[in-house]
């Protein structure tokens, strides 16, 4: 290669980086390349290489150049038949299965002979990629179908890749401490989508479906988890990803939905686990009340043979799982509800370590016999204590056995249509819709109590489309567009009922709403179980993405350049202490305004912590917008038949989020002033956008031997 061409190549890459329109360039295709030689090892130019998809009969053709090299790029994943023909030599055929993001190298050594002679079928292509320096692992269709997968959570299979481990149990990415966070509850009992790659945080990964963004931006986890039966394969890039991939320092997971072929194929499945077939635990008296029904169907095939194909999938889940089996919480005894706390004076009755005295919170004098006079009892406090069920065993703490049964309902749909417009044009459209929810009655019947209680849902859809256009044998364009729109929300137990009003609790500012009960309790709930929560919430997310990348094959170079334009919109409707937080002291002994026992404080009409509240009722909506844009250039340069350099450069333009209606402020520690969005020259985000996010990529692949 001449120095002039090197200079022009560098200039071209620089122009692309500076001038290319921002468009997302993560694709889900593959590449075949190699060198054609004769029996003596001399290169053979002019050989015709044809790759034919055995499922759709779509074919691509290239001709080996002066160095014997050929490249077929932007090939959809699938099973292929690669044939090479050259006058005076025997034709050869090699079968290969192309996977997402794969760069497969197939070198041909041709034998003298006539075209009429029988084709020589070589062995399948090797598994080791010989042209890239990235470290990645493919989870293919056979592994997805045949490996045990308890819970049907496909992300478990990602742990087959070196350096990939499950995240921290109980983390936000894996469903939270109770496994029931509205954002990440799906498959939380099986780790959710929490993956730690090379020791990095679970939020450092980038999830894609067919090259289209599949990330949610609140927890920075996965947006949609397709069922295993809808997945053809997915790759996990853990080290040295090409320049077209960004956003994450951890893994890049690119997943491909199944496609239809010229044959009709489908499946019908049902994984059913009833209580009657469960085993009784060694130290239990009965079987757990566990029921799980995971079912669905798939179907794919041709609409018009060799041209139009479809695939569809439905997945349903219905399960019922016991929560906190054998757990006891604290409810007030029958005597306490009427002001009689005499049980606290006898540790053999109360179960406490020492007697507990109840004091008049105003005078500091003990009540005679630990009994509060009727004139001191607040009717609201008495009504509040009456909503608790009676104890199921003796003692004043941990005296009520909970009965919680979490019920989940999932409905997931996936579909894809592929169209071979011509040998130079292939398009596809795919989509997913999910409606997943669970409900948990909590620890106290009819009221919000215990982490994870209430109803949570995650619903949404994503639409993906793409076109691969072949301008010439050397120039191929890949276009991707995507729109993901989903929400997750939470409704407390009792939503729709004004439980505060029914009891007589005034609520913040004297305002009550039909959304359950205020948050009420103290300490860790040792002496009476908390009721209530901060209030319902709804979080909506939407991402819009446009994708385009161009591959240009020139001599021993495989150039690829493009960019990303991705808009994220997240709106939030939630409050903190929106229904009021009635916090009670959980310490023993007299203190001015306190009786020395939490339940007594709730009952007394002159306690310092009687039902007074803080908080702002209602919702304050917020809607934030941000952009994740980038451009990149990549050159896979084959210096020698056994040495390939992987050179790339990526520039990310990531904007800080701003609020749609400029409801944003920030504090400047340098000037000591409050910065208000959109005022006095302050940007809408109140922050400066970093324009120096350049990410060079450098790697090489060296073959010790060439087969």
Compute φ and ψ for 584, nearest 5 degrees: -115, 145
pLDDT score for 579: 82
Measured from the Cβ of residue 524, the count of other Cβ atoms closer than 10 Å reads 8
For the chain, domain boundaries: 27-126, 622-626+634-702
**How many residues are listed for the chain in this entry?**
707
DSSP 516: B
63: three-class secondary structure by DSSP: strand
Q: Among residues 520, 454, 456, which one has the least CA distance to residue 493?
A: 454
More confident of the two residues 40 and 282? 40
Residue 369, beta-bridge partner list: none
DSSP letter for each residue of 396-408:
SSS-EE--EEEEE
Structure tokens belonging to residue 587: 């310490």
More confident of the two residues 579 and 297? 297
Gyration radius from the chain CA atoms: 32
pLDDT score for 607: 63
Residue 257 Cα distances to 254, 266, 416, 430, angstroms = 10, 14, 7, 8
Q: How many CA within 13 A on the CB side of residue 480?
A: 30
Under a CB-based contact definition with an 8 Å cutoff, are residues 49 and 64 in contact? yes
Most confident of 116-125, 342-351, 588-597, 640-649: 342-351
Measured from the Cβ of residue 451, the count of other Cβ atoms closer than 10 Å reads 18
Under a CB-based contact definition with an 8 Å cutoff, are residues 71 and 553 in contact? yes
C-alpha span between 476 and 224 (Å, rounded) = 30
Q: Show Cβ contacts of residue 458 under 8 Å, excluding neighbours closer than 6 positions.
A: 182, 183, 185, 186, 434, 436, 437, 486, 487, 488
C-alpha span between 19 and 404 (Å, rounded) = 59
DSSP 594: B
pLDDT score for 432: 97
| Third-level CATH fold of 27-126 | Immunoglobulin-like (2.60.40)
Q: How confident is the model at residue 526 (pLDDT cuts 50, 70, 90)?
A: very high
C-alpha span between 348 and 248 (Å, rounded) = 59
Measured from the Cβ of residue 493, the count of other Cβ atoms closer than 10 Å reads 26
Q: Does the pLDDT value for residue 655 go beyond 60?
A: yes
DSSP 11: H
Under a CB-based contact definition with an 8 Å cutoff, are residues 84 and 38 in contact? no
Residue 414, beta-bridge partner list: 313, 432
The dihedral built from the CA positions of residue 345, 527, 531 and 511, taken in this order, carries a sign that is positive
Structure tokens belonging to residue 500: 């505060």
Measured from the Cβ of residue 222, the count of other Cβ atoms closer than 10 Å reads 23
Q: Does the pLDDT value for residue 5 go beyond 80?
A: no
Q: Does the pLDDT value for residue 364 go beyond 50?
A: yes
Q: Does the pLDDT value for residue 63 go beyond 60?
A: yes
- Over residues 578-588, the mean pLDDT reads 86
Q: What is the mean pLDDT of the chain?
A: 88
Q: How confident is the model at residue 13 (pLDDT cuts 50, 70, 90)?
A: very low
- Over residues 351-372, the mean pLDDT reads 95
Q: How confident is the model at residue 17 (pLDDT cuts 50, 70, 90)?
A: very low
CA angle 318, 323, 324 (to 5 degrees): 170
By mean pLDDT, which of 36-50, 502-516, 577-591, 601-615 is the weakest?
A: 601-615
By mean pLDDT, which of 277-286, 419-428, 496-505 is the weakest?
A: 277-286
Percent of the chain with pLDDT over 70: 91
- Over residues 49-78, the mean pLDDT reads 92
CA 552 to the chain's CA centroid: 34
pLDDT score for 197: 93
Under a CB-based contact definition with an 8 Å cutoff, are residues 202 and 168 in contact? yes
- Over residues 314-331, the mean pLDDT reads 93
Q: Among residues 140, 146, 152, 233, which one has the least CA distance to residue 192?
A: 152
pLDDT tens digits along 224-269: 999 999 999 999 999 888 999 988 888 999 999 999 999 999 999 9
Q: Does the pLDDT value for residue 605 go beyond 50?
A: yes
DSSP letter for each residue of 272-321:
EE-GGGSPPPTT-SS----EEEEEEEEEEEEEETTTEEEEEEEEEEEEEE
Structure tokens belonging to residue 546: 């446009």
Question: Exposed (0-12), middle (13-18) or buried (19+): which is 698, by Cβ within 10 Å?
Answer: exposed
Q: Does the pLDDT value for residue 22 go beyond 60?
A: no
Percent of the chain with pLDDT over 90: 65
By mean pLDDT, which of 327-341, 470-484, 618-632 is the weakest?
A: 618-632
pLDDT score for 20: 36
Measured from the Cβ of residue 556, the count of other Cβ atoms closer than 10 Å reads 18
CA 484 to the chain's CA centroid: 13
Between β-strands 29-37 and 108-109, what pairing exists: parallel, antiparallel or unpaired?
parallel
pLDDT tens digits along 533-570: 988 889 999 999 998 999 999 988 999 999 999 999 99
C-alpha span between 83 and 41 (Å, rounded) = 19
Under a CB-based contact definition with an 8 Å cutoff, are residues 53 and 59 in contact? yes
pLDDT tens digits along 151-161: 889 999 999 99
- Over residues 601-615, the mean pLDDT reads 70
Structure tokens belonging to residue 624: 């934030």
Under a CB-based contact definition with an 8 Å cutoff, are residues 225 and 187 in contact? yes
pLDDT tens digits along 457-487: 999 999 999 999 999 989 999 999 999 999 9
Q: Does the pLDDT value for residue 15 go beyond 60?
A: no
C-alpha span between 68 and 65 (Å, rounded) = 5
pTM for the complete prediction? Answer: 0.84
Structure tokens belonging to residue 634: 């990549």
Q: Does the pLDDT value for residue 18 go beyond 60?
A: no
Under a CB-based contact definition with an 8 Å cutoff, are residues 338 and 379 in contact? no
By mean pLDDT, which of 110-119, 284-293, 374-383, 402-411 is the weakest?
A: 110-119
């Amino acid at each position: 290669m001449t120095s002039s061409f090197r200079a022009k190549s560098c200039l071209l890459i620089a122009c692309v980086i500076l001038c290319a329109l921002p468009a997302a360039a993560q694709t889900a295709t593959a590449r075949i390349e190699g060198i054609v030689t004769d029996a003596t090892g001399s290169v053979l130019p002019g050989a015709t290489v044809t790759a034919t998809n055995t499922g759709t009969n779509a074919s691509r053709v290239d001709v080996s150049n002066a160095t014997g090299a050929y490249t077929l790029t932007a090939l959809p994943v699938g099973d292929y038949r690669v044939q090479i023909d050259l006058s005076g030599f025997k034709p050869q055929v090699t079968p290969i299965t192309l996977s997402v993001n794969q760069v497969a190298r197939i070198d041909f050594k041709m034998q003298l002979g006539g075209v009429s002679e029988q084709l020589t079928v070589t062995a399948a292509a090797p598994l080791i990629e010989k042209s890239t320096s990235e470290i990645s692992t493919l989870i293919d269709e056979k592994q997805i179908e045949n490996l045990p997968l308890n819970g049907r959570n496909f992300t478990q299979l990602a742990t087959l890749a070196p350096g990939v481990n499950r995240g921290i149990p109980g983390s936000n990415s894996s469903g939270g401490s109770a496994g029931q966070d509205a954002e990440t509850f799906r498959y939380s009992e099986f780790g959710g989508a929490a993956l730690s790659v090379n020791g990095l945080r679970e939020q450092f990964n980038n999830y894609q479906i067919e090259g289209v963004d599949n990330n949610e931006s609140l927890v920075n986890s996965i947006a949609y988890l397709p069922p295993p039966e809808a997945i053809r394969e997915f790759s996990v890039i853990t080290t040295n990803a090409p320049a077209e991939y960004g956003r994450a320092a951890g893994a890049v997971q690119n997943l491909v939905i199944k496609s239809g072929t010229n044959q009709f194929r489908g499946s019908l499945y049902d994984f059913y686990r009833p209580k009657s077939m469960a085993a009784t635990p060694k130290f239990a008296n009965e079987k757990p009340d566990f029921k799980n029904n995971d079912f669905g169907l798939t179907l794919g095939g041709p609409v018009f043979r060799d041209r139009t194909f479809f695939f569809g999938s439905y997945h349903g889940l219905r399960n019922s799982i016991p929560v906190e089996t054998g757990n006891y919480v604290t409810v007030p005894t029958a005597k306490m509800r009427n002001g009689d706390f005499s049980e606290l004076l006898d540790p053999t009755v109360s179960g406490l370590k020492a007697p507990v005295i109840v004091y008049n919170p105003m005078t500091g004098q003990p009540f005679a016999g630990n009994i509060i006079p009727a004139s001191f009892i607040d009717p609201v406090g008495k009504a509040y204590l009456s909503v608790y069920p009676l104890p199921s065993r003796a003692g004043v703490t941990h005296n009520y056995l909970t009965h919680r049964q979490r019920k989940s309902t999932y409905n997931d749909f996936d579909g894809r249509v592929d169209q071979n417009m011509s040998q130079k044009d292939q398009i596809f459209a795919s989509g997913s819709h999910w409606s997943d929810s669970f409900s948990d009655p909590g620890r106290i019947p009819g009221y919000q109590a215990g982490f994870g209680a209430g109803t949570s849902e995650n619903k949404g859809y994503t639409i993906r489309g793409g076109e691969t256009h072949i301008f010439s044998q050397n120039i191929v364009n890949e276009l991707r567009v995507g729109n993901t729109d989903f929400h997750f929300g939470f409704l407390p137990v009792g939503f729709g009922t004004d439980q505060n009003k029914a009891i007589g609790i005034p609520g913040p500012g004297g305002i009550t709403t039909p959304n359950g009960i205020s948050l009420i309790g103290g300490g860790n709930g040792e002496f009476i179980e908390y009721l209530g929560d901060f209030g319902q919430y709804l979080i909506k997310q939407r991402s819009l993405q446009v994708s385009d990348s161009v591959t240009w094959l020139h001599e021993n170079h495989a150039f690829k350049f493009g960019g990303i334009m991705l808009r994220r919109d997240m709106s939030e409707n939630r409050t903190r202490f929106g229904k009021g937080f009635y916090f009670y002291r959980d310490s023993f002994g007299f203190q001015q305004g306190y009786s020395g026992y939490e339940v007594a404080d709730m009952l007394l009409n002159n306690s310092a912590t009687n039902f007074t509240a803080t908080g702002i009722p209602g919702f304050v909506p917020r809607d934030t917008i941000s952009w994740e844009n980038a451009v990149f250039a990549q050159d896979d340069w084959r210096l020698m038949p056994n040495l390939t350099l992987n050179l790339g450069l990526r520039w990310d333009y990531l904007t800080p989020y701003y609020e749609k209606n400029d409801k944003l402020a920030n504090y400047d520690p340098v000037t000591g002033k409050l910065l208000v969005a959109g005022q006095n020259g302050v940007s809408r985000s109140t922050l400066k956008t970093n324009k120096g996010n350049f990410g060079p990529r450098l790697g090489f692949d060296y073959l010790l031997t060439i087969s």
